[in-house]
Amino acid sequence: AQSVAQPEDQVNVAEGNPLTVKCTYSVSGNPYLFWYVQYPNRGLQFLLKYITGDNLVKGSYGFEAEFNKSQTSFHLKKPSALVSDSALYFCAVRPRGSGGYNKLIFGAGTRLAVHP
């Protein structure tokens, strides 16, 4: 079965330190990969996506993500965390060739807590 795993329910990091939120997937072929962020009482906001090309993708708010095909991973990173980055982060995958059906498979989410 196709799935997306976010192995950490919560990640704690001190402000100013680098952060990593992990994501691995089990989807055949070369899927499209996404990260979304959810702030309290808000909908999901698109952060970045990987379609093809350079394995390091840059997105909004200083976030970036690294695609690793051999490890089927798409980890979200930021060089210096801010308290305002505290939120719930979702990794999502769309299988290619899904007949135009824009099906996103979501991970369970990782809560990022950045401490002053």
Partner 1 sequence: DADVTQTPRNRITKTGKRIMLECSQTKGHDRMYWYRQDPGLGLRLIYYSFDVKDINKGEISDGYSVSRQAQAKFSLSLESAIPNQTALYFCATSVGVGTGGLVDTQYFGPGTRLTVL
Contact residues for partner 1, defined by CB under 8 A: 4, 9, 32, 34, 36, 41-46, 49, 51, 90, 92, 94, 100-104, 106-109
Residue with smaller CB distance to partner 1, 15 or 44: 44
- Rounded to a whole number of angstroms, the minimum distance from the CB of residue 39 to partner 1 is 10
Residue with smaller CB distance to partner 1, 14 or 108: 108
- What is the sign of the dihedral through the CA atoms of 8, 27, 89 and 44? negative
- Rounded to a whole number of angstroms, the minimum distance from the CB of residue 77 to partner 1 is 20
- In 62-106, DSSP assigns E strands to 64-68, 73-78, 87-94, 105-106
- Rounded to a whole number of angstroms, the minimum distance from the CB of residue 115 to partner 1 is 23
Residue with smaller CB distance to partner 1, 39 or 80: 39
- Rounded to a whole number of angstroms, the minimum distance from the CB of residue 102 to partner 1 is 5
Question: Which residue type is seen at 71?
Answer: Q
**Angular region, 108: left φ>0, alpha ψ -120 to 50, beta rest:** alpha
Report the length, in residues, of the chain: 116
